[in-house]
Structure 1
C-alpha cells in the first residue's frame, strides 16, 4: 500500500476528534451517573467472545448474526465473535456471572462493531450506551425504561421536537397464530407492513383467514380507537391479542402522564426485529434524522440460551449519533515556562478550578499552542489570567 493511503480508514469507521470527543465523553459520564442514580449498575463486557455466547440473539435475529464479525481464536481454534450488540452479554451476566433474585438493573457503554452499517446509520463502530432490566414482566418495568430513555435524550439536549413511537409485536404475532399462517406468509405480511404498502396489503389479505383483521392492523396502525372499531369481535376476544392491546394502551397512558408535552405516536406494525422482541417496542426520533436516537423493547426469555430465562426489557443508543453536529471549544490557558513556586501555585489553582492550562516548553512561544484562548501573565507580582 502506498504511504499516501496508509492513513485511510475502512468505510464506516472514523476517528473522533477533540472538539467532538469532549462532547461525547461528557454525555457518557453524565448518562452513566444518571443511570446509577436510578439504580442501574455499570458493567463492562469483553469486546470479543466465543460465538456461542453471542448467539442467544442470533438464533432469533438473523440480522444480528449477519452483523457480527467472526474470527478464529489462535489459542483454542474456536470461532469468536466481535460483539455487535451488548445485550446478549448482559443477559449472560444476569444468568450466570452475577445472578440475583428479583429485579436486576444494569447499564453499559462501549464500542460495538458491525459488518455493515445498520439501517440509516453510517458508522460500523457505534459507541453503544444502554440499560437493561431483568426479572419483571410488569408494565411498570417498560414504563420505567421508556422514562429513563427519555431523560437521557433530554440530558443530551435533544428533547425539543422529539417523537416517541410505541408498538407491540404481540398484536401481529397473536393474529398470525390465530390465523394459522405459515412462516412464508408471515414474513411477506411483515414486509408489507414495514413498507406501508396498503394497496398490496389489501390485495394480499383478500384470500387470508382473518384477512380483514390483517388489513385493519395496517390501515389503522396509528389509531388505536379506529383499529378496535374495525377489528373483528373474534380477534378482540383473543386473550393474547387483548393482553397486547391492553399493555400498549396502558403504557401510552402512563407515558402521557409523565411526559404531557411529548409528541407520542403509535404504530402497531412497526415490526423491526420482531423475531427478537416479545412485547412492547419503543423508539425516539428527532426532526431531520432518519435513524432513531434510541430504541428498545421487551425481549422476555433472552437468558434461556444461558439456562436462565427471565423477563427482560431495555434500550440502547449510539452516543456518536446523539452528539452528531455538537462540538466543544475548550478554553486553553497558556502559562509561561518557569519553575518558581508562585507560578506553579497559580497553574495548580487554575487547574483545580477546571481550566485547561498548558505550560510552554523549551523555546516555545504563545503562538505554538493551537487555539489558545487565554494567557497567564504576572501583574504587580500576581499571576492573573487574561483573554488573548
Structure 2
C-alpha cells in the first residue's frame, strides 16, 4: 500500500513567517482599535455542542457548519462558522447579571463549508455592542468600523450603509414565495427591467416603491433624501428617520478622516438576520466587502436574555490580500540577529535584553539562510563582522552591543 501524499484539507492553508507577520500585524492593529473604543476581548472555543451553537445561526450558517461526534462524550459538536452566536451565549449566560451596555470584542478563526471548494478557514475579528439602542449604538459601531478600516492602511475605504425596513416592506407584500424570490433576485442584480416585471404582482401602493428600491443606492445624503421623499408606510418612514439619526451620530463620533459613506437600501445580504441598520466596509485592493455588520435584536433572546445588539466582523484574510494587491509593505518587525563564534551565548543574551531577537548559530550563517529564517543579520564574533541579509557587510565592535542595536534600529535590512 502506497503512503498517502502529504496534504491539507481543502480550504485551509499554512502561513509562513512573512504572511503570518502581515496577518498578526493586522489583527493587532484592529484589536488595538477595539480596545481604544472600550471593547473588552473574550476568547471562545473553536467548537461547541451543535444544538447550542445552531440556535444563533441563520439558515446559511447552519448549512455551513462542520459537525462531528466528540469522542469523549458522544455529543454532536460543530466547528464555529461564526463567533457572534458564541458571544450571544456568553452574554446570556456567563454575563447574565451584568447590566448593559456591554462591549466585547474577539479575534479567531472560523471554519465554513464552501460548496465545491470544501471547507474554508477564515481569520476574523469583530465587536458586539449589547443593550445599546439605536441610534447611538449603531452610530458607535459604525464609527469603530471606520476606525478599523483606517487601521488597515488601505486606500479608498468606504462604508456602505442600509436598513432592512424598506426591502422588508416590499417583500412582505409579495403574494407567495415564488414572487418573493423573483423580486429578491432582481434586487440583488440591480435589474430594473426584471424588477418591474416581478413587481407587477404587488399591490398598487407598493409596486412603485419596489421599482424605486432598486435605484436607492449612492452617496449617503442624496440617496437618503430620495428615499425619504417616497410614500412609505409609517414604520418604514420611522426606520429612515432612525437611519438619518445614525448617520448624524456617526459624523459626530467617528475619528478623522472618515471613509466615504454610501447608502444601498436594496442590498438584501443578511436580510433574514439583521433587524435594523446593516452595513459593509470596502477598501481598495479587495474585490468584495472586507467587513460586514448590523443590528440583530433577536439573537441573544435565543439564549435566554432579551437584549438588543449590534456589531460587525472584519475578514482579516481579505484585508491581508487587499494589502498585497495595493502594494502595502510588510509590517516592520523587531530586528533579528544570529550570533556565531566564541562568546555567542553571552552576546545573544545582551541583545535580547535590549529588545532584539537573537539566537546562537552553530555555524556561520549565510545571507540566504538569514532571509529564509527571518533574520536581519549575522554577528560573526570571531571575524568581528556583521553580515546582513541583503549581503552587505560591516565591521562589528563586539564590545559595544548598544552600538549594534542602534545600527539595527536605524538601518533595518530590506525584507
Output one character per residue of 1:222-250: Cα deviation in whole Å (capped at 9) or x when no partner: 42223333x33xx2xx2320121112222
Question: What TM-score comes out, normalization by structure 1 length?
Answer: 0.87
C-alpha RMSD of the superposition? 2.6
Any idea what SS the aligned residue of 2:307 has?
A: coil
CA distance 1:182–1:97, change in 2 (3 Å): farther
Verify the 8 A CA contact 1:53 1:89 in the aligned structure 2. no
For residues 360 and 133 of structure 2, the distance between their equivalents in structure 1, rounded to whole angstroms, comes to: 57
Aligned to 1:350: 351
For residues 208 and 289 of structure 2, the distance between their equivalents in structure 1, rounded to whole angstroms, comes to: 31
For residues 200 and 163 of structure 1, the distance between their equivalents in structure 2, rounded to whole angstroms, comes to: 28
Aligned to 2:391: none
Unaligned segments of structure 1, at least 5 residues: none
For residues 169 and 296 of structure 1, the distance between their equivalents in structure 2, rounded to whole angstroms, comes to: 12
Aligned to 2:129: 133
Aligned to 2:111: 113
Aligned to 2:165: 170
Verify the 8 A CA contact 2:113 2:119 in the aligned structure 1. no
Aligned to 1:149: 145
Any idea what SS the aligned residue of 1:219 has?
A: coil
CA distance 1:116–1:128, change in 2 (3 Å): same
Verify the 8 A CA contact 2:85 2:299 in the aligned structure 1. yes
Verify the 8 A CA contact 1:139 1:247 in the aligned structure 2. yes
Aligned to 2:224: 224
Output one character per residue of 1:122-160: Cα deviation in whole Å (capped at 9) or x when no partner: 9810111110011112211111111111212211212x3
> How far 1:267 moved relative to its partner?
0.3
Verify the 8 A CA contact 1:68 1:84 in the aligned structure 2. yes
Verify the 8 A CA contact 2:140 2:250 in the aligned structure 1. no
Of 187, 202, 214, which aligns to 1:193? 187
Output one character per residue of 1:46-85: Cα deviation in whole Å (capped at 9) or x when no partner: 1111111112233xx2111111111123333332111000
> How far 1:101 moved relative to its partner?
1.4
> How far 1:191 moved relative to its partner?
1.9
> How far 1:197 moved relative to its partner?
1.3
For residues 195 and 308 of structure 2, the distance between their equivalents in structure 1, rounded to whole angstroms, comes to: 33
Comparing 85-94 with 65-74, which one deviates more in the overlay? Answer: 65-74
Verify the 8 A CA contact 1:20 1:328 in the aligned structure 2. no
Q: Is 2:201 the counterpart of 1:207? A: yes
Any idea what SS the aligned residue of 2:112 has?
A: coil
Output one character per residue of 1:81-119: Cα deviation in whole Å (capped at 9) or x when no partner: 11000000000000012221121111111111011179x
> How far 1:173 moved relative to its partner?
1.4
> How far 1:167 moved relative to its partner?
0.6
Within 5 Å, which residues of 2 pair with 1:1-388? Answer: 3=3, 6-58=5-57, 61-99=58-96, 100-116=98-114, 124-158=120-154, 160-177=155-172, 179=173, 181-209=175-203, 210-222=206-218, 223-229=223-229, 231-232=230-231, 235=232, 238-257=233-252, 258=254, 262-324=259-321, 325=324, 327-328=330-331, 330=333, 331-338=335-342, 340=343, 344-361=345-362, 364-367=363-366, 369-371=369-371, 372-376=375-379, 377=381, 378=384, 382-384=399-401, 385=404
CA distance 1:329–1:304, change in 2 (3 Å): closer
Any idea what SS the aligned residue of 1:13 has?
A: coil
Any idea what SS the aligned residue of 1:164 has?
A: strand
> How far 1:383 moved relative to its partner?
4.4
> How far 1:306 moved relative to its partner?
1.0
Any idea what SS the aligned residue of 1:81 has?
A: strand
Verify the 8 A CA contact 1:31 1:155 in the aligned structure 2. yes
For residues 300 and 107 of structure 2, the distance between their equivalents in structure 1, rounded to whole angstroms, comes to: 20
Aligned length: 371
Question: What TM-score comes out, normalization by structure 2 length?
Answer: 0.82
For residues 303 and 381 of structure 1, the distance between their equivalents in structure 2, rounded to whole angstroms, comes to: 62
